[in-house]
Structure 1
Amino acid sequence: MSETKRQIFVGTPTSFAMEAHLAPYAAHSATSRGRRYTEAPPTARTEFQRDRDRIVHSTAFRRLEYKTQVFVNHEGDLFRTRLTHSLEVAQIARSVARNLRVNEDLVEAISLAHDLGHTPFGHAGQDALHECMRDHGGFEHNLQSLAVVDQLEEHYGAFNGLNLCFETREGILKHCSRENARKLGDLGERFLTGRQPSIEAQIANVADEIAYNNHDVDDGLRSGFITLEQLADVSLWHTHHEAARSEYPRIDGRRLIHETIRRIINTLIVDLIDTTNDNLARIAPESLDDVRNAPPLVAHSEEVAAQAAALKRFLFKNLYRHYRVMRMANKARRVVTGLFGAFTEDPRLLPPSYQARGPVAEESANDAAGPTYNGSQARLIAHYIAGMTDRYALKEYQRLFVIDDN
């Protein structure tokens, strides 16, 4: 995707005033590398606040309410969804950003948008769709999130997508293969050269891991798929669980679980802030470019990183590979694979907007004429399936394959 149309900002009194407290190595909206399409500057908010607001109002963001984390949406009302996960990531990331004097609005925008491209049924759905797309360029949910904000959202008369700032788009693109990075121009350059994204993007990345590790413990205990007895062997859990019991001897049940998880999250956040501050003092970046040329700066201490990694291994073995989770994952793969096969065999089953009408240029002077799809029917099908919620995918599968006698 060409970046030649990018709008370069000069800054407004509003943005300078709102971001005057930021460190010199933070991302400042006034010096952003801009948007793909020229727009008048916002009033009463910064460019990154505008990005955050556009994400919250997007269709893809609303759909996250019915996209799974570990448990499929219909399995219970109290389990996390992609929406609640994104909100928890944003809360953690903003706390860290505030303490490091970097841009809270940018880190919030990245956090809220990072899962917009996730398929229904979590990683099982993503893996299935990637397999279906193996001969058509594969499927990466980070690239799909970028496609959502660059192309697939249809809210504005002048362009497709949300026309977000470069720094927000950069943060959304958490991972990218070298092959795809070459196609993305300067947005993918860092994956080829080994440079780093902004401090804000690094914070959102680590906050994502803090959030999902801890809420997966909570959901795993709530479901009964993991037990307190199993967790007693995990040092990060054991230390804070015993400290909570010592301070509050009479609490038990859900209150004790929540108190333990609260303490773990606090420990991870405080350690992240302290270690990152040490890294900043040692490297002493004086600009965002210095951050890009430095090694990763946002990190945990070795001790806490090892404890967090042990918790992650525990969850992989005992929750993500639990036989009941695996059964649902198997069903999810069948649903996604079945939908893809049916739509490939007969594209007339697709909504008209997802039926290819011959090659379409990726970018044109009149971008508002329609979605900037690349003309591949397989990619259009992937867009359609990736945008589904869990329950919509299940209903679509039933409509295609189940004969209802009622």
Structure 2
Amino acid sequence: MLAPYACKPDQSRGRLFLEEESAFRSCFQRDRDRIIHSSAFRRLMHKTQVFVVHEGDSFRTRLTHSIEVAQVARTIAGALGLNPELTEAVALAHDLGHTPFGHTGEDALAALMAPFGGFDHNAQAIRIVTRLERHYAEFDGLNLTWEALEGIAKHNGPVSGPLPHALAEYDDRHNLELSTHASAEAQVAALADDIAYNNHDLHDGLRAGLFTEDEIAILPIIGDCFAEVDRAWPGLDPKRRRHEALRRVFGVMVSDVIDQSRTTLDETAPDSAAAVRALGRPVIRFSDALWSDLKEIRAFLFARMYRAPSVMSVRAEVTKVVEALFPLYLGMPALLPEKWRADVAAAPDKAALARIVADYIAGMTDRFAMQEHARLVS
């Protein structure tokens, strides 16, 4: 029972390359399944979320983060009458374009690519699902529906100004209407991302010893959740206490999005997915009060986790890995694997070659990037 403003499979704008529909799965189910079976999705298992993979087996990776985002997104979509398969597809694909070493690797690669059109992980995700995944006989990429591609490209909102190269390149072939907001399903995926990382970064930061329960208990939302657990289970084992408190933080965020989004949808009353895009503002959102609380939590995490000396030290090391590999491959493209050499041979200029090198490095896992650095540089 989908809401009027949900994306309906039978109303999809279709795929760039025409395909026969499945007898058993909707077009959005097929999108989700193709993403799960893609090589880029598997590689997320060995890509950094905050902590580089070799720092510990218990911290989140891009893969576990993406799965958590998809779980939250399905929950919210179900509560709001949205299409769960499209929501899940966008959630699972939202980080496909991330480099090794997370945002640190992206920052390094963006700086190196600045003379050649830049680098952006959202745009790179589009490049992956429309070009770089090469498994199907009839087309490059995954040939996802227009709605899935739109969601990947602009789940964080309209894309304006100079477009990232990879996004502009595809949009010229298949107009994604980048100046509008995306579907409500894609908006849900974006906020599910916020919910997931706010929650699991607190958990991983505690596990890493970067701060303590007492230090985060003074933050909004979190202190109330710890107090609720202590009232219900005095003297609870510390690990169970932490888990019980943080899952309540999780629940507060999810409930707030559902309640606030219901209010916004009731007020705006969109009667179709197209009406959601035409509103000019998002319909899926946190309340102003909770958003203010989350900004305080994020400021704490930025200071105590993302900019912690131990984290910054590793960031400096892995930045050097990317900064060494890029000019090496650019100057000696014969070092690239054989399957990449046909693209190299067809590259019309240095900018096109740089884009191929960026594609290759961006697809690396943390471990492989470090191995290649050790083999070719160290």
Partner SS for 2:137: coil
Question: Kindly tell me: are residues 227 and 378 of structure 1, through their superposed partners in 2, closer, same or farther at Cα, counting changes over 3 Å?
Answer: same
2:374 aligned to 398, 401, 404, which one? 398
Normalized against structure 2, the TM-score is what? 0.94
- Kindly provide the CA deviation profile for residues 328-360 of structure 1, in whole angstroms up to 9, marking residues without a partner as x: 111111001110011112111111333311347
Structure 2 residue ranges without an equivalent (≥5): none
1:216 aligns with 2:209: no
* Amino acid paired to 1:198: S
Which residue does the alignment assign to 1:249?
Answer: 234
Cross-structure match for 2:284: 298
- What is the alpha-carbon distance in structure 1 between the residues aligned to residue 338 and residue 115 of structure 2? 24
Contact between 1:120 and 1:389, CA under 8 Å: does it hold in 2?
Answer: yes
* Structure-2 residue corresponding to 1:365: none
**Does the aligned pair in 2 maintain the 1:37–1:163 contact within 8 Å?**
yes
* Corresponding position: 1:345 with 2:331: yes
Matched, 1:230 2:221: no
Give the Å deviation of 1:182.
5.4
CA contact (8 A) 2:149 2:176 kept: no
- Counterparts of 1:188 and 1:357, CA distance in 2: 30
Aligned-pair CA distance for 1:320 = 0.2
The residue type equivalent to 1:216 in the other structure is D
Please say if residues 95 and 122 of structure 2, whose CA atoms lie closer than 8 Å, have aligned partners that are also in contact: yes
Asked whether 1:268 is paired with 2:253, we answer yes
Match of 1:335 among 321, 341, 344: 321
Partner of 1:64 in structure 2? Answer: 44
Q: 2:361 is aligned with what amino acid?
A: I
Where does residue 16 of structure 2 map in the other structure? Answer: 36
Q: Which residue of 2 aligns with 1:203?
A: 188
Letter aligned with residue 394 of structure 1: M
- Indicate how the Cα distance of structure 1 residues 256 and 227 shifts in structure 2: closer, same or farther if over 3 A, else same: same
Q: Distance in 2 between matches of 1:375 and 1:139?
A: 12
Alignment-derived partner of residue 8 in structure 1: none
Q: Which is worse superposed, 123-132 or 234-243? A: 234-243
Mapping for residues 140-159 of structure 1, pairs under 5 Å:
140-159=120-139
Matched, 1:278 2:254: no
**Cα deviation 1:136-193 (Å, max 9, x = unaligned):** 00000001001110001111000001000011111111354522265524645333xx
Give the deviation of 1:308 after TM superposition: 1.3
Partners of 1:263 and 1:357 lie apart in 2 by 55
Separation (CA, whole Å) in 1 of partners of 2:314 and 2:253: 31
Tell me which amino acid in the other structure corresponds to 1:278. Answer: T
Q: CA RMSD in A?
A: 1.6
After superposition, the Cα gap between the structure-2 partners of 1:120 and 1:103, relative to the gap in structure 1 and judged at 3 Å, is same
Asked whether the 8 Å contact 2:7–2:183 carries over to 1, the reply is: yes
Q: Which sections of structure 1, spanning at least 5 residues, go unmatched?
A: 1-20, 361-372
Residue 161 of structure 2 is aligned to residue 178 of structure 1: yes
Q: For 1:348-398, what per-residue CA distance to the aligned partner results, in whole angstroms no more than 9, with x for missing partners? A: 1111333311347xxxxxxxxxxxx99811000000000000000000000
Q: Distance in 2 between matches of 1:102 and 1:187?
A: 24
Identical residues among aligned pairs (%): 45
- Tell me the secondary structure at the aligned position of residue 346 of structure 2: coil
Structure 1 residue 135 corresponds to structure 2 residue 135: no
